[in-house]
Amino acid sequence: EAYRRGIELSLKHDIGTYSFMARVVGRGHALMFAWSYPFNRADAKSVERARRALDETDELALELGGIPWKAGVYGQRLIMERMDPNTLNLLKRVKALLDPNGVMNPGNWEA
């Protein structure tokens, strides 16, 4: 399912070559998937297509019961929307304690 849906996203966003990786982690209790979409950073349209595909990949990971790895700001927001309220509150409190002035990675994990 993950593989097929990644191909669909690649085609939807006219990305072309698409790369997918699956790896069993540890003793088989976890499985990691990685989607990779090439883009030309000198071409704003190519960058935007890849960004949209990555955002939809974060949505897909959550839909399939996973968690986006190294989520960007959009993926972070999706995770926080689904997060247990107590966990989100803890995240806010730890972030405020460690970074009261908001200078460490501003915009990331803005709870």
d(C-alpha 102, C-alpha 92), whole Å: 11
- The residues, any chain, with a CB within 8 Å of residue 2's CB and separated by 6 or more, are 20, 22, 33, 60, 64
Closest CA to 21 of 6, 40, 41, 35: 35
pLDDT in tens, the chain (111 residues): 888 898 899 999 998 777 787 777 777 777 788 888 899 999 999 999 999 999 999 999 999 998 888 899 999 999 999 999 999 999 999 999 999 999 999 999 886
pLDDT value, residue 18: 72
Whether residue 76 sits in one domain with residue 34: no
Give me the chain's average pLDDT, please.
89
Angle (nearest 5°) at CA 21 between 16 and 23? 175
Number of structural domains the chain divides into: 2
Whether residue 58 sits in one domain with residue 13: yes
Q: What is the pLDDT of residues 33-61, one digit of tens each?
A: 888 889 999 999 999 999 999 999 999 99
Whether residue 11 sits in one domain with residue 44: yes
Under 8 Å between Cβ of 79 and 62: yes
Domain limits for position 16: 2-65
pTM for the model stands at 0.81
Whether residue 37 sits in one domain with residue 75: no
